Amino acid sequence: MRIKVYGKAHLEGVAKKSGNPYNFNQVHYLGKTRGVEGQAALTLALDSFDYPIDRIEVGREYDVEFDNRGYVVAFAPAK
């Protein structure tokens, strides 16, 4: 699936309820969603080690692949 990145954020901290640490990059893009006319604002959570925030460019297109559970298994600049 090809997406265009419209925004990005690095999120890191400790969950209030569980106390577990988290560290990931969030990518914002537009896509189709059931019940939405036109485009919906969507987000992807990416591992910050595999996909460093400084290598994600706002305004650039990326190819994304998901596994059968909806988790990102590939995220690379479109060619």
Concatenated DSSP letters of 41-65: EEEEEEETTTS-GGG--TT-EEEEE
Could you report the per-residue pLDDT of 13-27, keeping only the tens digit for each?
999 999 999 999 999
Q: What digits encode the pLDDT tens for the residues 27-55?
A: 999 999 999 999 999 999 999 999 999 99
pTM of the model: 0.89
pLDDT for 74 equals 96
Task: State how far the Cα of 53 lies from the Cα of 55, in Å rounded to an integer.
Answer: 5
Decide: residue 50, CB within 10 A, 0-12 exposed, 13-18 middle, 19+ buried: exposed
Mean pLDDT on 52-59? 98
The confidence score (pLDDT) of residue 34 equals 95
